[in-house]
Chains A and B, each alone.
Chain A
């Protein structure tokens, strides 16, 4: 992409993206990625109007993945959404859903209270447009950064920088702790920067593009600083990873992203790389357990295969089956919205069915919100792959 506007030129109108769009399959309310993305982009450059179905794009990126011409279709949609909101008021609902980090900080002092308040106020949330059925995440009693500060790591010469992201930091810190344990087992010391802010993914989907850009600038500066020093950056959240690595380049014009992006890894991907180099600690203890695996869309969008599945295959006794049943429907905060909840459940229905039919009671997946949705839709337990890796290392020493 060149210069300051998005170039819809690569689209050949082949409509492959429509065939692969889970939202289009679930509802006629969405006119489809090709139409709303590159096709209307040409119109948006020449006139002002409102495309009502723009709000139905979930930014799941299945269109981008399927496009044979490399058009960043969903990003065109997100930019159009930002343009739409430039001179319009946002709803309280969208503000709340986009500002998980701020909300978390507000309630950090008394997380127990916040969760209690949240349960009580589902009725109120429903009134502002957040579904009362959706699987909203609870806040953890202690954030990852707090837990991490109190953790004594063994120091090693080789270090990695961890970008935890909001979900791990505030909702599911155990994944972060598992990550650190796995790194330590591989003789790596983990650095966590205080200055990291929300990657911006939840802001972008609700049109808070300017705020997302502010966050991006801050993160880019820090990420670049570390990669310049030769440290790899690792995420355990595939949406954060996609944002930091790829979407920043599509959405903004910030120097340095392309350079650090080469050294930014998903945790599973990073461990597999270590394995390829013969440096992975393979002292895996046997786990005679069965799991289903779900590949988050934002992992697939990064085009790195399914490192989680490959990694777990190294663990003796472990039986992990890839569900291979498409999008779970949640797409960040899309499925939390009252008017999108049913669509989101419809999108996930195929996956839920596959999981239920497998008879396995636990699903492994990298993405935090996918795990919430799957737990809700398929009524199963969920785990991050690293939790199993840690468990296997620990089993070895027992």
Chain B
């Protein structure tokens, strides 16, 4: 049986943050994730590293937490944060009186706001609607959920942290009101096993209620679903927020090659109710038009949805009214020692949440080492020498991105693959500029079991063609490399294409429709992956 001191449940921002913090303080810990890392809300979100401007008026405390954490993460998270800065723009539809209140509230919690003329704003962001009335600059930034999660894990691993993916928690073992272990099931093999531990931290986000229920404890998390649209290109190089009381469809966030617009908000029953629908997409476009007039001429790539883990002590509070702050629930108060749930919060404040929880756990474990997650970089900068070397091997616009995804060690490995076989330099995913070598490196990682796992590590399949060309190429690469999980190529094809299809279905018109017909032609027509021809008995 595996043994550890602390088991962390949940491979999202909160979980990986806690794992890193524990490991940095010298506590032995294992993180369990039912699917792949960042499978949950931490990749089905907007990716805005809030300056706090969005919360300042209504929830000054949340605003203050945001600006503090934003400042820390822009420093320690250089390789997953893009310092785009942000605009708050009031449109002709928005209440002028709110503007003054907002400026005042931001000042109170220390969020810098710099007014600029509409003319200047349009010069900086020419696609903005010329009808906007006033604009402020704020220190918003974009943060990439996948990379941030991976970089936290990479850092934790350096300190001895372990991660088990596709491992779902099915039971909490206790004796004499004290946690003694955890029961898990491997979701790929179905195998059930136990891990002995002294402490369990549930960072299961919207699933936190389900985890607590395994121990007969009630934690009131209301999953609140939000849908987002990813656009094919960078229609703005800065984050653009609507300057009005926080509402739906307010924010555009540029991420690398794409732009994300969101979000909606609706209570749902299940944490993985993440299938977006066309109605939500149309709503978002209608609202988004006030900031970007030409929004309908921009190609959408897909829609996606995640669920906010909204916590409330009052079971009747829902949606945006419920607290977006976070709480740490020590279940010793419910009669079970060695079990803590952390619920609510935001991606932006994940580090702070992790620090609070780790403080609590370390108190029990009598570990006195102070938290250093606010001062130590998530990953070290890639040396200029290595970057220069990478530029020799990666295609244009590829080296920097690869370095930020892979870190120095991974980058060296991928370079070595290209050195050994120069043809591996070719792009497997042309839209997102991912080389064959990098895909093979990601596929060979011990946490990869299907093509989507490779996608999350590389961004392969997340660009314009949404898998039309890279699906067969990546399946081919996995097959050619003889990877243990790559035997049934038909399964690999379907898993990946269905994943892409999920986000495409609600936006199936215009160019997306044409793209999908091309994809269908390739996979159903040429490659016959649905076996239509067999069925016809030909």
* B209-261 CB contacts (< 8 Å) to partner A: 232-234, 237, 254, 256-258
- B58: CB under 8 A from chain A? no
Across-interface contacts of B399 in A (CB, < 8 A)? 49
- B47: CB under 8 A from chain A? no
The smallest C-beta distance from B300 to any residue of chain A, in angstroms, reads 9
The 23 sampled A-B contact pairs (Cβ below 8 Å) are A3-B126, A3-B294, A4-B126, A8-B464, A9-B299, A10-B299, A11-B464, A12-B464, A12-B518, A13-B430, A13-B515, A15-B469, A35-B430, A40-B397, A42-B258, A42-B431, A42-B464, A45-B233, A45-B234, A51-B397, A52-B396, A69-B511, A69-B514
* B421-451 CB contacts (< 8 Å) to partner A: 427, 430-431, 433
CA distance A390 to B463 in the complex (A): 55
A4, A7, A14, A50: which contacts B233 (Cβ < 8 A)? A7
* B390-429 CB contacts (< 8 Å) to partner A: 395-397, 399-401, 427
B127 touches A42 (CB 8 A): no
CA distance A41 to B235 in the complex (A): 12
Across-interface contacts of A69 in B (CB, < 8 A)? 511, 514
CA distance A7 to B511 in the complex (A): 13
Name the 8 nearest CB pairs between A and B, nearest first: A9-B299, A43-B397, A13-B465, A4-B126, A51-B396, A45-B234, A42-B257, A49-B397
CA distance A4 to B127 in the complex (A): 7
Across-interface contacts of B175 in A (CB, < 8 A)? none
- B297: CB under 8 A from chain A? yes
The smallest C-beta distance from B389 to any residue of chain A, in angstroms, reads 16
B127, B294, B401, B431: which contacts A39 (Cβ < 8 A)? B431
* A8-45 CB contacts (< 8 Å) to partner B: 8-15, 31, 34-35, 38-45
Number of interface residues of A (CB under 8 A): 31
The smallest C-beta distance from B92 to any residue of chain A, in angstroms, reads 19
Number of interface residues of B (CB under 8 A): 33
A13 touches B297 (CB 8 A): no
- Please judge, given known A-B contacts A2-B297, A49-B396, A51-B397, whether A8 and B514 are in contact too, CB under 8 Å: no
B256, B258, B469: which contacts A13 (Cβ < 8 A)? B469
B232 touches A50 (CB 8 A): no
- Beyond contacts A3-B126, A9-B299, A35-B427: 5 other A-B pairs, Cβ-Cβ < 8 A, are A10-B511, A13-B430, A39-B464, A43-B397, A46-B234
Across-interface contacts of A7 in B (CB, < 8 A)? 233, 297-298
CA distance A31 to B433 in the complex (A): 13
B127 touches A9 (CB 8 A): no
The smallest C-beta distance from A83 to any residue of chain B, in angstroms, reads 13
- Pick the most buried of A2, A4, A45, A69: most chain B CB atoms within 10 A of its CB: A45
Proximity string of chain A (143-170) to chain B, C-beta cutoff 8 Å, 1 when within and 0 when not: 0000000000000000000000000000
Across-interface contacts of A3 in B (CB, < 8 A)? 126-127, 294
Across-interface contacts of B427 in A (CB, < 8 A)? 35
- A47: CB under 8 A from chain B? yes
- A397: CB under 8 A from chain B? no
A5 touches B126 (CB 8 A): yes
CA distance A119 to B127 in the complex (A): 51
The smallest C-beta distance from B470 to any residue of chain A, in angstroms, reads 10
Proximity string of chain B (481-518) to chain A, C-beta cutoff 8 Å, 1 when within and 0 when not: 00000000000000000000000000000010011001
A9 touches B430 (CB 8 A): no
- B31: CB under 8 A from chain A? no
B433 touches A43 (CB 8 A): yes
Please give the residue numbers on chain B whose beta carbons come within 8 Å of chain A beta carbons, in ascending order. Answer: 126-127, 232-234, 237, 254, 256-258, 294, 297-299, 395-397, 399-401, 427, 430-431, 433, 463-465, 468-469, 511, 514-515, 518
B232 touches A42 (CB 8 A): yes
Across-interface contacts of B257 in A (CB, < 8 A)? 42-43, 45-46
CA distance A10 to B98 in the complex (A): 39
Across-interface contacts of A8 in B (CB, < 8 A)? 232-233, 464
CA distance A13 to B464 in the complex (A): 7
A42 touches B463 (CB 8 A): yes
- CB-nearest residue of chain B relative to A2? B294
* A222-253 CB contacts (< 8 Å) to partner B: none
Please give the residue numbers on chain A whose beta carbons come within 8 Å of chain B beta carbons, in ascending order. Answer: 2-5, 7-15, 31, 34-35, 38-47, 49-52, 69
- Please judge, given known A-B contacts A40-B397, A42-B232, whether A12 and B465 are in contact too, CB under 8 Å: yes
Across-interface contacts of A13 in B (CB, < 8 A)? 430-431, 464-465, 468-469, 515, 518
- CB-nearest residue of chain B relative to A15? B469
B233, B256, B433, B511: which contacts A12 (Cβ < 8 A)? B511
Across-interface contacts of A5 in B (CB, < 8 A)? 126-127
CA distance A9 to B299 in the complex (A): 5
B126, B127, B396, B511: which contacts A40 (Cβ < 8 A)? B396
- CB-nearest residue of chain B relative to A35? B430
- Please judge, given known A-B contacts A11-B464, A49-B396, whether A42 and B298 are in contact too, CB under 8 Å: no
CA distance A42 to B464 in the complex (A): 9
Across-interface contacts of A34 in B (CB, < 8 A)? 430
Across-interface contacts of B514 in A (CB, < 8 A)? 12, 69
The smallest C-beta distance from B172 to any residue of chain A, in angstroms, reads 45
Across-interface contacts of B232 in A (CB, < 8 A)? 8-9, 42
The smallest C-beta distance from B34 to any residue of chain A, in angstroms, reads 33
- CB-nearest residue of chain A relative to B465? A13
B518 touches A46 (CB 8 A): no
Across-interface contacts of B468 in A (CB, < 8 A)? 12-13
CA distance A128 to B511 in the complex (A): 46
- CB-nearest residue of chain A relative to B399? A49
- CB-nearest residue of chain A relative to B463? A42
CA distance A110 to B397 in the complex (A): 49
A47 touches B397 (CB 8 A): yes
- CB-nearest residue of chain B relative to A31? B395
A41 touches B397 (CB 8 A): no
CA distance A48 to B78 in the complex (A): 17
Across-interface contacts of B294 in A (CB, < 8 A)? 2-3
Across-interface contacts of A50 in B (CB, < 8 A)? 396
The smallest C-beta distance from A14 to any residue of chain B, in angstroms, reads 6
- CB-nearest residue of chain B relative to A8? B233
